[in-house]
Amino acid sequence: MSAEPVADTASERPESQGPTGRGRVPAEPGTTRRGLFTAAGGLGAGALLAACGDDGPGAPDNDLPAGVIAEVDEVEVGGGYINAGEQVVVTQPSEGDFRGFSAICTHEGCTVSDISDGTINCRCHGSRYSIEDGAVVQAAWGETPETQDPLPPVEVAEDDGTIVRG
Ligand code: FES
């Protein structure tokens, strides 16, 4: 009897998705390391994987005061900002329309990885959620949009140039 090889999905995950899901997602080169925020243009996985800073994935980011999810100017229109430490994603589908969602993928609990082309993406197993309402746009491997829950909404509000929990 021969054993089937077992896929090492952990080695395929970005380092931002450690078992604790704590800390902020590393930023794309050319952006600050305070978070990951992308416009509708999208990102390459290789660029994301190469973006880890000196503090390493999951390191706390002390640039923002406690309770602040993002600065308004960090949340691009048509994109969003993942605050892994707060476990919240803030999106801005259209100018001035900020929406919040849990950053915890409803499939198996990874912290979502990035935002591109109008979706919040989880690289653990390929889930993609709408930046508009958190709906499942692409289900995880082996799932369907009907069997996978959307990202739960999180109330957010604008407060003096920042986004905080509403
Ligand atoms: S945990 Fe996100 S796709 Fe599986």
The verdict on the CB of residue 22 being under 6 Å from ligand 1 is: no
- In terms of DSSP bridges, do strands 162-165 and 68-71 run parallel, antiparallel, or are they unpaired? antiparallel
Mean pLDDT of the chain: 75
Residue 68 has phi, psi (to 5 degrees) of -85, 130
Q: What is the pLDDT of residue 64?
A: 77
Span 14-41, mean pLDDT?
40
Distance in angstroms (rounded) separating the CA atoms of residues 150 and 134: 5
Residue 52 has pLDDT above 90, yes or no: no
Residue 73 has phi, psi (to 5 degrees) of -75, -5
The verdict on the CB of residue 110 being under 6 Å from ligand 1 is: yes
Q: What percent of the chain lies above the pLDDT cut of 70?
A: 63
Two tokens at 74? 């960090």
The number of helix segments (H) and strand segments (E) in the chain equals 2, 11
Residue 81 has pLDDT above 90, yes or no: yes
Contact 74, 140 (CB under 8 A): no
Element at 116 (helix H, strand E): strand 114-116
Give the chain's domains with CATH numbers: 18-165 (2.102.10.10)
Residue 93 has pLDDT above 90, yes or no: yes
Instruction: For ligand 1, atom 3, name the residue with the nearest CA.
Output: 125
pLDDT band at 60 (very low <50, low <70, confident <90, very high): very low
Task: From 17, 110, 114, 121, give the residue whose CB has the most ligand 1 atoms within 8 Å, as the site to mutate.
Answer: 110
DSSP three-state, residue 137: strand
- Please name which of 138, 151, 70 lies closest in space to residue 109, comparing C-alpha atoms: 151
**Can you state the percent helix, strand and coil of the chain, rounding each to 5?**
5, 30, 65
Residue 72 has pLDDT above 80, yes or no: yes
Instruction: For ligand 1, atom 1, name the residue with the nearest CA.
Output: 108
Q: What is the pLDDT of residue 124?
A: 97
DSSP three-state, residue 80: strand
**pLDDT digit string, tens, across residues 106-165:** 999 999 999 999 999 999 999 999 999 999 999 999 999 999 999 999 999 999 999 999
Q: What is the pTM of this model?
A: 0.68
Residue 8 has pLDDT above 70, yes or no: no
Residue 71 has pLDDT above 60, yes or no: yes
Q: Which of the two residues, 99 and 47, has the higher pLDDT score? A: 99
